Amino acid sequence: MTAALLFWGWHTGLWWLALPMAVLAELPGLMHWQWELELKERQRVADLCTVVVVLAGGYLYLNQPRLGVALILLIQWLPALLFPLLAVQLYGRHRGLELSVLFLSLRGDKPGGRETVDLRWAYLLLCVISASMIPPETPWYYPSLALLAAWVLWSRQRAGTSRQRALRLSALALAALLGLGIASALRWGHNEAELIVMRWVEQWLGAGEDPYRSSTAIGDVGTLKGSARIRVRIYPDEASRQLVPGMLLRTASYDRYVDGTWFTSGSPFAPLAAQSGRRIIAAAGEAAPTPRILLQTRRPEGLLPLPAGAAAIDGLAQADLERNGFGTVRYRIRDGAALLDYRVAVDGPPTLAPPDEQDLRIIGPDVPVITRVAAELGLTPLPPAEALRRLRRHFDTEFRYTLELPRIPPNQTPLKHFLTEGRAGHCEYFATAATLLLRQAGIPARYARGWSVQEYSELEGAWIARDSHAHAWVLAWIDGAWRNFDPTPPDWGALEAADRSWTVGVGDFVSWLRLALSGAGDEDRGSRHWLLLPLAMLVLLLAWRIARRARRGARHRRPAAERRGRAESGRFGPLEAAARRLGIERRAGETLREWSERVGEQPQAPGAALRDAVDLHYRDRFDPRGIDPTARERLRQLLDDCLRGMR
């Protein structure tokens, strides 16, 4: 156990905890110390460990923004949380623990509850698994694991000739080399499988963050439904409180539309310059930062939501930022944080590259319907600002927002059906149609996607954007600058909110609680370790109650054994003496019931009669009503029968 605990402490960084645990694990063998507990007390220790694991898991879940991080930390701490259960076995006289100690369902003299299991090997495996919860680039895990395996096998196989020991060592070395190859292959396969699964999930959910491609749900059939998980929080200040409602946070923009998918024409990313801790996008002048933005990330890299006219970014020292000509900012987190906390200085309209011929291009089977609708609306001769107002009025009065995706007739394209017959769709339909119609009217336009901030959370004191608030709109070139134009009818947010389940409120509360306990919601983040105080007090209370009833060593057990002997020697003394001659004597600290069960497994002993006698004896000693004379005579006969059977 010592080697396993030190192995675990080294790789998890918990060496300060592993060292005293290793010393405690060695003391029973070196000092012959014992701390024997009764069965009920051993069960209480198991219950204590269960309570500690559950409370620690709850604390980590609330204190860590990512569930995966909380689970990894819990697994790392399991050897420490379950060490009291191992100590019960190491300091006891038995080489295992009863199954009734480990499983609540086997308590109360249930079948199989008395069977024992050696925890040491399971605990060793737990230390190995817990130590594996480390970054994949750590180079020393596998070599130290091979040394641990060699130590365990060598300590178990000291017998034999020198040649046999050399053969065992060679076999272990060969197994280690084969394991290294298998581990490398598994790591490569894991990385590839993770990449494939992430891409599949992003495509399936429509939540991919690709700066060069955006697959829409145009033409799909069914119900488009986003989750209610909160992704963005904006904490307003007095100066910007009125600017947040309806704010559009753009993550990317695209200029080519082909059969339901938007693409960019290819714009390379370049690192954002840093100046006094600020990432510079454009000359910001005296622009003040916007309210504080908190982004819940899904992966270590992604696209950063930014308001229109973003000129500088403050507060992302832990991330590398790059930007392309479409105004898309890509982040890579260096410390694995699940939350990005930043502010953005805004100075005028979006600072993007001016339009080119691609921003006026329309291709594909939708060209005829786009040309006809633009002509019917009379968009071409109008000034750009008036064309936008007419187009917005057309969508607001003649169309409706819906997440129900209808089946498209085979002789029509999805966009044609939307503009001419269906006249209902979600934001991707409205944004795509508006972009192409503006281009037909001679106004450069691009497709943009990101988040629409329109819901205020009284619980958090912040404006929030959920997964279901992911939105698409248009960037239109008006008066020499790119400006946001949202053609989706404004009631889409209310319709989306009305369709939510009551469980969303529960999820919001849990999300807020995790954020509050982790301290991520506060700009002045203090330590939250004080939250462990109730857990520590509960653990100490339960441990004190268990220790108060413990009998340490033979010196503490002898008086109890003497009292038991005086109470039972009159009835069972001759029987125990006869059993001693047969080699099935009653062990120190063993109850009559435990002894009778063990004796019953011997072919030369009267097991059934002995168990009946013990039952009557317990009734006579512990039942307030006692037993009647007939039962007392029955007990005497059973004891005589057992004594004759052992002679």
3-state DSSP of 462-520: EEEEEHHHEEEEEEEEECCEEEEECCCCCCHHHHHHHCCCCHHHHHHHHHHHHHHHHCC
pLDDT less than 50: residues of the chain? 136, 201-208, 525-527, 551-568
From 101, 93, 105, 89, select the one nearest 44 (Cα to Cα): 101
* 233 beta partners: 294, 464
d(CA 462, CA 244): 10
* 453 beta partners: 247
- Strand (E) or helix (H) holding 87: helix 83-90
Strand order in the sheet with 481-485: 247-254, 445-453, 470-478, 481-485
- Contact 415/432 with Cβ under 8 angstroms? yes
* 484 and 577 inside one domain: no
d(CA 79, CA 265): 54
Token match 């509360």: residue? Answer: 509
Task: Kindly give, in sequence order, each residue whose CB lies less than 8 Å from that of residue 140, ignoring residues fewer than 6 positions away.
Answer: 11
* Domain assignment of residue 181, yes or no: no
* Domain assignment of residue 167, yes or no: no
Amino acid at 135: P
d(CA 646, CA 606): 8
pLDDT at 2: 85
Token match 């691009």: residue? Answer: 446
Task: Kindly give, in sequence order, each residue whose CB lies less than 8 Å from that of residue 43, ignoring residues fewer than 6 positions away.
Answer: 100, 101, 107
The two tokens of residue 237 are: 């200040």
pLDDT at 401: 92
Question: b vs e for 536-575, b when ≥16 Cβ sit within 10 Å of the residue's Cβ?
Answer: eeebeebeeebeeeebeeeeebeeeeeeeeeebeebbeeb
Amino acid at 568: E
Query: At 295, is the secondary structure helix, strand, or coil?
Result: strand
The two tokens of residue 340 are: 């990005």
d(CA 209, CA 254): 12
Helix 15-31 to helix 2-12 angle (10° resolution) is 170
Token match 């944004």: residue? Answer: 431
* 411 and 349 inside one domain: yes
Task: Kindly give, in sequence order, each residue whose CB lies less than 8 Å from that of residue 195, ignoring residues fewer than 6 positions away.
Answer: none
* 240 and 108 inside one domain: no
- Contact 235/462 with Cβ under 8 angstroms? yes
d(CA 197, CA 189): 12
* 531 and 576 inside one domain: no
* 460 and 565 inside one domain: no
* Domain assignment of residue 510, yes or no: yes
pLDDT at 205: 43
Instruction: Give the chain's count of helices (H) and strands (E).
Output: 20, 27
* 481 beta partners: 478
* Domain assignment of residue 207, yes or no: no
Q: What is the pTM assigned to this prediction?
A: 0.63
Q: What is the dihedral angle through the alpha carbons of 279, 281, 282, 288, rounded to the nearest 10 degrees?
A: -60
* Domain assignment of residue 266, yes or no: yes
Count Cα atoms within 13 angstroms, Cβ side, for 195.
Answer: 6
Measured CA distances, 274 to 112, 312, 320 (Å): 68, 9, 10
* Domain assignment of residue 182, yes or no: no
Task: Kindly give, in sequence order, each residue whose CB lies less than 8 Å from that of residue 21, ignoring residues fewer than 6 positions away.
Answer: 5, 9, 79, 80, 83
* Domain assignment of residue 399, yes or no: yes
* 511 and 640 inside one domain: no
How many beta carbons lie within 10 A of that of residue 337, not counting itself? 17
From 132, 123, 124, select the one nearest 152 (Cα to Cα): 124
From 85, 151, 157, select the one nearest 122 (Cα to Cα): 85
Q: Where are the alpha helices (DSSP H) in 328-366?
A: none
The two tokens of residue 282 are: 């454009």
* Domain assignment of residue 170, yes or no: no
**Pairing state between β 400-401 and 424-425:** parallel
Amino acid at 14: L
Q: Rg of the chain's alpha carbons, rounded to an integer?
A: 36
Query: At 303, is the secondary structure helix, strand, or coil?
Result: strand
Domain hosting 309: range is 213-518
pLDDT at 434: 96
Using a CB cutoff of 8 Å and minimum separation of 24, what contacts does 203-210 make?
207/298, 207/467, 207/470, 209/251, 209/252, 209/302, 209/303, 210/252
- Contact 94/73 with Cβ under 8 angstroms? no
Question: b vs e for 456-479, b when ≥16 Cβ sit within 10 Å of the residue's Cβ?
Answer: eeeebebbbbbbbbbbbbbbbbbe
d(CA 632, CA 6): 58
Please work out, in degrees rounded to the nearest 5, the angle formed at the alpha carbon of residue 349 by the alpha carbons of 347 and 352: 105
* 537 and 480 inside one domain: no
* 563 and 468 inside one domain: no
* 464 and 386 inside one domain: yes
pLDDT at 411: 84
* 481 and 359 inside one domain: yes
Structural domains of the chain, count = 3
Out of 467, 499, 518, a domain closes at 518
* 108 and 252 inside one domain: no
* 421 and 382 inside one domain: yes
pLDDT at 379: 92
